[in-house]
Structure 1
Amino acid sequence: MNEENSKPTDLAFIEFVIRSIVSEPEKVVIERKIDEMGVLIILKVSKADMGKVIGKNGQTVQAMRILLHIIGSKEQNRVNLKIEEPIE
């Protein structure tokens, strides 16, 4: 966790990135769950923003997953990103 606030680094990172690239940041829903497999970040965005989040050939979401893995390994956590069906 970072010292500036109580949000975990992985959650703060993904929240900043997603809200920066979408057109409707108020519709973004991010959940963070911890289990025996590690950390799971569940992301829901509007249908109109789904393409921006996934990117061409999945490159944007793949880059976010790689960066989350790096953040997680720095904190000895396994961090995964799941994108759920879009919000209408």
Structure 2
Amino acid sequence: MKDLILTIVQPLVDRPEDVRIEMEEGSNGITYKLSVHPEDMGKVIGKQGRVAKSIRTVVYAAAGSSQQKKIFLEIVE
């Protein structure tokens, strides 16, 4: 799943080397925490959060029913 997120996010930003993804597994699911360079934050979130919502939609669809746990994607500063 990390590879999918990287594949989507890195072309969007000016500093792809600063893209970091951390995975936290909890009792209610797996949370992927995405962090990018502060100047690229707006590009990842998009106007009114449309880009972020689209990224989440693709990630959740890819996880689908193949995962036993629910997948979450957080964009952190």
TM-score, length basis structure 1: 0.78
Aligned partner (choices 45, 60, 70) of residue 51 of structure 2:
60
CA distance, structure 2, for counterparts of residue 74 and residue 11 of structure 1:
17
Cα RMSD (Å): 1.2
Equivalences, count: 76
Q: Which residue does 1:15 correspond to in 2? A: 6
Q: Which residue does 1:83 correspond to in 2? A: 75
Cα shift at 1:51? 0.6
CA distance, structure 2, for counterparts of residue 56 and residue 37 of structure 1:
30
Which amino acid counterpart does residue 38 of structure 2 have in structure 1? K
CA distance, structure 2, for counterparts of residue 11 and residue 75 of structure 1:
15
The list of structure 1 runs, each at least 4 consecutive aligned residues, that deviate by more than 4 angstroms after superposition, is none
Q: SS of 2:14's equivalent?
A: coil
Greater helix percent: which structure?
2
Identity level (%): 32
CA distance, structure 1, for counterparts of residue 10 and residue 37 of structure 2:
12
- Alignment map for 1:19-30 (pairs within 5 Å): 19-30=10-21
Q: Which has the larger radius of gyration?
A: 1
Q: Deviations over 1:60-82 (max 9, x none)?
A: 00011111111222322311111
CA distance, structure 1, for counterparts of residue 62 and residue 23 of structure 2:
14
> Runs of 5+ in structure 1 lacking a partner?
1-9
By relative contact order (CA 8 Å, sep 6+), the higher-ranking structure is: 2
